[in-house]
Amino acid sequence: MPAHTMSRHRPPAPAWMAARARALTAATWGMAVFPLSRTKLPAIAAAHPGDTVRCTGGCGTLGHGVHDASTDPARIREMFAAVPWAAGYGIACGRAPHHLVGIDLDRKNGLDGPTALNALAGKQGHTVPDTATVLTPSGGLHLWMTAPPGLRIGNSVSKLAPGIDIRDSGGYLVGPGSTTRRGRYVFAPGSHPDHIAAAPAWLLTLLTTPHGPAHTSPANTHPGGAGRLEGMVRVVLDCGHDDLNNRLFWASCRAFESDHIDPETAMAVLLQAAISRGHPEVPARRTIASAHRTVKGVRP
């Protein structure tokens, strides 16, 4: 049989192999990556089930969420080989050399993050810089920007305005080429990782202001995901230490039950809230993953 006929009938590569190839490409851009499932959550199970020590991967094993992220091709291949259900990859924010900050702009459930960000820029007398941009399946945008090394911005939901979420150290962005249950993430036309703009001073100022710019709470202005998630975060923050894990599980279940809340966003902000109240990170990630399995009945 001619070679061209054989190649025409060759079965497509498994989804995890395609995801791995895209993750390896992202690593050549200097991005630390790790495998994601179709729900946009880390695909590798927790490394220390039942353990309460705060481990962020120093033990050398896999299963530390975003802390597994690597630019080493051998490590990336090892991760994807461990999770044949992986359909995408996450890009860790805040890592050298880019110190990436992700500006997640939602366009769903009545929110319009791009318009809100442009309005904020206009109030400052500036415009949003042209930068690498990823289109999300729901019609939103992920803007990639760099930040000065050592600057702590934090992960947040609607801190700047409803529809604008932020990814910094400890958070991640879904990498372009990843496939999720809602569709595929792709670069915007003409966009490329070679062009990642530095976050402008006016934006960094807003992001590092303790309470952000003056705006009405999304909990009072929008009945969709932003306000609901804000309330769930408050449940985690307003608790005693002995009840922290139970409240984190409850809030995570409510978040994953909602069709208006992005699971990646919920994971990032609920995890940050739990850690800020003293919950060790790895057990907190396990509690959130357990909530997802409880609600969805499937592997996260």
pLDDT 10s digits, 97-109: 999 999 999 987 7
Read off the tokens for 17. Answer: 């192999």
Q: For the segment 221-258, what is each residue's pLDDT rounded down to a tens digit?
A: 333 455 678 788 878 877 665 678 888 889 888 888 88
Q: Do 132 and 234 reside in the same domain of the chain?
A: no
Compute CA distances 145 → 93, 167, 200, 253, whole Å.
10, 10, 9, 32
Domain count, the chain: 3
Report the Cα 46 to chain-centroid distance in Å: 17
Closest CA to 66 of 31, 14, 98, 104: 31
Q: Which residues of 131-156 are buried (b: 16+ CB within 10 A; e: fewer)?
A: bbbbbbbeebbbbbbebeeeeebbbb
Read off the tokens for 78. Answer: 């090892």
CATH number of the domain residue 197 falls in: 3.30.2250
What percentage of the chain carries pLDDT values higher than 90?
A: 40
At residue 4, does pLDDT exceed 50? no
Sequence-distant (≥ 6) Cβ neighbours of residue 122 within 8 angstroms: none
Instruction: Let me know if residue 246 belongs to a domain.
Output: yes
The pLDDT value given to residue 50: 56
Instruction: Let me know if residue 36 belongs to a domain.
Output: yes
The pLDDT value given to residue 217: 34
Rg from Cα positions in the chain: 19
Compute CA distances 213 → 39, 159, 210, whole Å.
32, 8, 9
Q: Which helix (H) or strand (E) holds 287?
A: helix 281-296
* Backbone dihedral angles phi then psi of residue 274, each to the nearest 5 degrees: -65, -45
Q: For the segment 43-76, what is each residue's pLDDT rounded down to a tens digit?
A: 888 777 655 556 777 788 898 888 899 999 999 9
Q: Do 251 and 183 reside in the same domain of the chain?
A: no
Q: For the segment 110-139, what is each residue's pLDDT rounded down to a tens digit?
A: 889 999 999 999 998 999 999 999 999 989
Q: Do 87 and 104 reside in the same domain of the chain?
A: no
Q: Rounded CA gap, 75 and 23, in Å?
A: 11
User: Which of 92, 125, 152 delimits the end of a domain?
Assistant: 92
Which domain, by its residues, includes 285?
217-300
Instruction: Let me know if residue 297 belongs to a domain.
Output: yes
Q: Do 77 and 126 reside in the same domain of the chain?
A: no
Q: Give the DSSP letter of residue 66.
A: G
Q: For the segment 156-189, what is each residue's pLDDT rounded down to a tens digit?
A: 877 888 889 898 988 899 999 999 888 999 999 9
At residue 1, does pLDDT exceed 70? no
**Residue 35, beta-bridge partner list:** 89
The pLDDT value given to residue 276: 66
Instruction: Let me know if residue 197 belongs to a domain.
Output: yes
Q: Do 148 and 78 reside in the same domain of the chain?
A: no
pTM of this structure: 0.74
User: Which of 215, 239, 257 delimits the end of a domain?
Assistant: 215
Compute CA distances 146 → 57, 93, 103, 124, whole Å.
24, 9, 11, 20
Instruction: Let me know if residue 5 belongs to a domain.
Output: no
Q: Do 133 and 201 reside in the same domain of the chain?
A: yes
pLDDT-derived band at 212 (thresholds 50, 70, 90) equals very low
Q: Do 139 and 178 reside in the same domain of the chain?
A: yes
Q: Rounded CA gap, 152 and 158, in Å?
A: 17
Given a contact cutoff of 8 angstroms between Cβ atoms, the answer to whether 207 and 120 are in contact is: no
Q: Do 204 and 273 reside in the same domain of the chain?
A: no
